[in-house]
Amino acid sequence: MSDQPDDRLTAAGPAAVPPDLPASGTGVALGCARALLRVRTRAEAAQVLHRAIRDLGGEVRPAAGSAQGPLPGVDVSLGVDDPSVAVEADGSARTSARLRGWLAILVEDAEAAATRCDAQQSQEVRARTDAVTGLPDRREGDERLAAARPGDVVCLLDLDDFKGLNDSRGHAAGDRALRRFGEILAEHVRGLDFVGRYGGDEFLVLLTVAPVHVAMRRMWEISTAWAAEDPVHAVSVGVALVDERGPEAAAAAADRALYRSKRAGGGRASLAGPDDRTPIG
E strand residue ranges, the chain: 58-62, 84-88, 153-159, 194-199, 202-207, 235-241, 269-271
Mean predicted confidence (pLDDT) in 45-49? 94
As to burial, measured by CB atoms within 10 angstroms (0-12 exposed, 13-18 middle, 19+ buried), residue 260 is: middle
Return the pLDDT at 237.
96
- Of the pLDDT bands very low, low, confident and very high (cuts 50, 70, 90), residue 5 is very low
Read off the pTM: 0.59
Query: Are residue 56 and residue 123 in the same domain, yes or no?
Result: yes
Which among 127, 146, 178 is the end of a domain?
Answer: 127
Between the two ends of the chain, the Cα-to-Cα distance in Å is: 49
- Of the pLDDT bands very low, low, confident and very high (cuts 50, 70, 90), residue 253 is very high
Domain-embedded: residue 57: yes
Return the pLDDT at 278.
53
Query: Are residue 119 and residue 209 in the same domain, yes or no?
Result: no
Residue 57: Cβ within 10 Å count: 20
Domain-embedded: residue 133: no
- Of the pLDDT bands very low, low, confident and very high (cuts 50, 70, 90), residue 169 is confident
Q: Partners of 204 in the beta sheet?
A: 156, 196
Domain-embedded: residue 13: yes
Domain-embedded: residue 80: yes
Instruction: Give the total number of structural domains in the chain.
Output: 2
φ/ψ (deg, to 5) at 58: -105, -175
Domain range spanning residue 11?
Answer: 7-127
Domain-embedded: residue 132: no
